[in-house]
Amino acid sequence: MSAEEPLSHGQLFSWREIDRYPPGWGHEANLASTWDLRGLSEARVDQALEGLVRLHETLRTTYGTRDGVPFQRVHEEVRLPVERADRQVADPTEHERVKRERLTIPFPMTGDLNWRALLVTYKGAPMYLSLTFSHLIVDVWSIHHLQDQFKALVAGQGAAIETGFTPRELARRQHAESWRPRQAASERYWRDVLAGGLMDRLPTLPARAEKERLELTLTSRRLGGLAALAGQAHGVTPPAVIMAFVAAGLARHLDTDRVTMSLMSSNRFAQEDQHNIGTMNQLIPFVTAVDHGATLAEHIKRLHWASAKAYRHSCYDLDRVAETAALAGEDPGHDCWVNHLFRAWFNYVRVDRRPADPADQTPATLAWTPLAQSYGQAFRVRVEVDDGETRVLMLADPDVLPPEAMIDIMRTLALGLQLAVTDPQRVLKDLWNGQLRDLPEALFPREPPERAARAS
């Protein structure tokens, strides 16, 4: 048997976002995780996986649509989507290759489970589990919790697992009368943002439309450590520090003193939501001034408090917000409110819990992606912190930000992080002072690439 229910706000946001991907890009909604199984029996692994599926209905959920409205269908029982392969694992990096390969396989949005796994054994002994999930059902936070709970189950400690609200329970709460004050507050916040003005210089695309994009990635082990130090020094978070300098660089190259940044929010600030397994991420925009005469410390704190206010209203019904925007006179000129309302966005993801080292001297790298995602917003930054390494991925429309502007924003970020720690009373405009442009190779390469490699 199965039960059909409306979507939670997080599910609806993911649905609307993924549904606007062009053909051939569905795999971009995928998330992956690899779990080390050495020392376990295959029976224990199977029991733990079955236990996870019993605990979490999101792993038993499929989606459907009726008259254009998506819904979730929760099944009481499902067949585990686990493939098996028994082989010798001679290459210690095989699991990374397998993860990359499996990430390229998209999930159908309707009619099937939105996760799959490959169990690799050698002579019957489990080696690793390669899992792929669609963002339709989980976010990175959920995957971390699922891995921790899997470990608890194989250790026989399943009784101690906290499960939180199910997506169905969240949907019921969010559609209940008691939620209306929060909904009204979010809609008031959105009206204020729309009145403040979105970034009209950034063009947006219809759903499933493609346009050339460039993607530049700065990789540094030292960068994340400096962001953590700066966050401690200024009483803010590392993501807020990084975002502050991304916003400064963007404002400079758009020749504006105000920017609209859209933040990816986990929507797990309340203690009661810490153990929810599902997709809860939503973007929330805020409009803020960028004063080139402010000190770096003042700029960081301004961006931090503007983003903190935005986070308070980051759980909302996207379809209702689109209606609010239309009533406010917004006209996207196309069919994609996701692209229109979130024109420049910032996301910070910690893949693991290993801290970054601000003293690490490993040289930084800067590289162009040969084939960038050719759809969506005109400007996007995603920060990934994994194994002590920070990767800043910047995607941009070259008609808005040419390659040299993207490189300059990356340099601004690296210099800003360094000065936020060593000289935070410098003013923002000093970031473009030629005398301060030299950076250690651990933060920025001496010879960055001058142009993007283009796909033929």
Domain boundaries along the sequence of the chain: 2-171, 199-436
3-class SS of residue 380: strand
Nearest of 217, 204, 132, 137 to residue 406 by alpha carbon: 217
pLDDT band at 362 (very low <50, low <70, confident <90, very high): very high
- Give the integer Cα–Cα distance in Å for 251 and 254: 5
Joined tokens for residue 365: 């790298």
pLDDT at 456 over 60: no
Q: Find the mean pLDDT for residues 274-298.
A: 96
- Between 171-185, 229-243, 354-368, 441-455, the lowest mean confidence (pLDDT) is in 441-455
Q: Find the mean pLDDT for residues 160-172.
A: 94
One fold for 2-171 and 199-436: yes
3-class SS of residue 150: helix
| pLDDT tens figures, 423-446 | 999 999 999 987 667 899 999 999
pLDDT of the residue at 450: 74
Are residues 12 and 70 in contact, defined by beta-carbon separation less than 8 angstroms? yes
Q: Find the mean pLDDT for residues 243-268.
A: 95
pLDDT of the residue at 455: 44
pLDDT of the residue at 71: 97
pLDDT of the residue at 353: 75
Tokens 């976010």 belong to 139
Topology classification of domain 199-436: Chloramphenicol Acetyltransferase (3.30.559)
Give me the DSSP letters along 394-424.
Answer: EEE-TTTS-HHHHHHHHHHHHHHHHHHHH-T
Tokens 């209702």 belong to 320
Bridge partners of 297?
none
Q: Nearest 5 degrees, angle CA 106-CA 147-CA 47?
A: 95
pLDDT at 301 over 50: yes
Q: What percent of the chain has pLDDT over 70?
A: 98
* Residue 4 Cα distances to 112, 142, 163, angstroms: 14, 22, 21
Nearest of 104, 97, 99, 93 to residue 117 by alpha carbon: 99
pLDDT of the residue at 310: 96
Mean pLDDT across the chain, nearest whole number? 94
Are residues 340 and 187 in contact, defined by beta-carbon separation less than 8 angstroms? no
Give me the DSSP letters along 191-223.
Answer: HHHHHH---TTS----TT-----EEEEEEEHHH
Are residues 391 and 384 in contact, defined by beta-carbon separation less than 8 angstroms? yes
pLDDT band at 1 (very low <50, low <70, confident <90, very high): low
- Give the integer Cα–Cα distance in Å for 127 and 130: 10
Q: Find the mean pLDDT for residues 148-176.
A: 95
- Give the integer Cα–Cα distance in Å for 105 and 112: 14
| pLDDT tens figures, 101-150 | 999 999 999 999 999 999 999 999 999 999 999 999 999 999 999 999 99
- Give the integer Cα–Cα distance in Å for 327 and 340: 15
- Give the integer Cα–Cα distance in Å for 109 and 30: 12
pLDDT of the residue at 295: 98
Q: Buried (b) or exposed (e) across 236-263, using 16+ Cβ within 10 A?
A: bbbbbbbbbbbbbbbbbbbeeeebbbbb
**In the CATH scheme, what is the code of domain 2-171?**
3.30.559.10
